[in-house]
Amino acid sequence: MMFNGYNEELVQSIKGWLHEDVGSGDVTTQTTIVAGHESKGIIHAKEDGVICGLPVAELVFEVVDPTLNFTAFVQEGQTVAKGTVLAEVEGSTHAILTGERLALNLMQRMSGVATRTASFVRALDGLPTRLVDTRKTTPGHRMLEKYAVRIGGGANHRFGLYDAVMIKDNHIKGAGGIRQAVGRARANIPHTMTIEVETESLEQVEEALAAGADIIMLDNMPTDLMREAVKRIKAKAPHVKTEASGNVSLETVHDMALSGVDVISVGRLTYSFSSLDISLDLNEKKEGRQS
C-alpha cells in the first residue's frame, strides 16, 4: 500500500498502541453500552488543514474489529475547511469507541505535519529548491511523520543513520577533521552511498570540496554567506548538491532558497507542529459534507 512494505510493521505498532490505551479492556464502553449495539461514527475536521492519515485510521479500526466498515469522503492530502466530514466508520459501537482515540490521535498528528509542510511548500512556490524533513521525529512514529511530510508536498531526507553518511560537527571532531572523516567513510561504504558534510564556514566548505563530499550542508549560515558558499561550490564542483539547514522558519525559507541551494531541510516539520483538531461523533447524519 502507501507505506512501501512497512504495513506489517505498522500493524504491530497499532497493536502495541492499542494495548497501551485499552489494556485489559475499555471499561467505560463495556459497562455503559450493551453488547451488540451498532452505530455510525462520523469523523470531521474542526479546523482548516491538509488531511493525512485516513488509511492509518482505517487500519486502526480494522485491527480493533475487521467487521467495521470505514468509508473516506475526502482524498489523502486534500485541503479541507472546518466542518468537513472526512470519513465514517460503521458497525459495533464497542469497537468504534475502543479504536476512536488512537485513530484520531494518529490522524491529528499526521494532518498537523502535512499542514505545516504545505505551508513551507507554499513559501517556496515557483522556486526549484526542494523541501525535506530531518530525523527530528517522534520516537516510534518516524514512518508516519515522514509519510505525512510527503503528503504535505515535501520530500524525505535519509530515513535513519543507516542509509546515508552525514558527517556532522561531532564526527569531524572525533575523526580529526573533514578530510579524515570523508576519507574513512569513503573507504568503508558501498559506491552507491552518498556522503554529506555539515559545514559552518567557507573554510569548511573548501575542505569538504577538497575531500570529495557528494553533498555539502550549509548549517546556520547567514543568507549572504550561504549565497557565497553556493557560488563557490557550483563553480568548482557543479555536481555537488547543496543543502541549507538550521533555524529555518516560514519567514526565512524563501530568502534561503534564493541563495541557490538545492535542498532546505526543516526539523520544524516534524518536531514543531500543531495537531489538526479532528473529532468523531456517533450517529450524525452525512448531510452537509464539504469538499
Q: Which residues are annotated as catalytic?
A: 101, 136, 168, 198, 219
Question: 3-state DSSP call for residue 165?
Answer: strand
Identify whether the C-beta of residue 240 lies closer than 8 Å to the C-beta of residue 76: no
C-alpha grid cell, residue 13? 505498532
Residues contacting 232, CB < 8 A, separation 6+: 202, 205, 206, 209
Q: What are the helix (H) ranges across the chain?
A: 7-22, 27-32, 54-64, 93-123, 142-151, 169-175, 178-188, 202-211, 223-236, 253-257, 268-271
Cα separation, 129 vs 6, whole angstroms: 29
| DSSP assigned state of 61 | H
Identify whether the C-beta of residue 256 lies closer than 8 Å to the C-beta of residue 244: yes
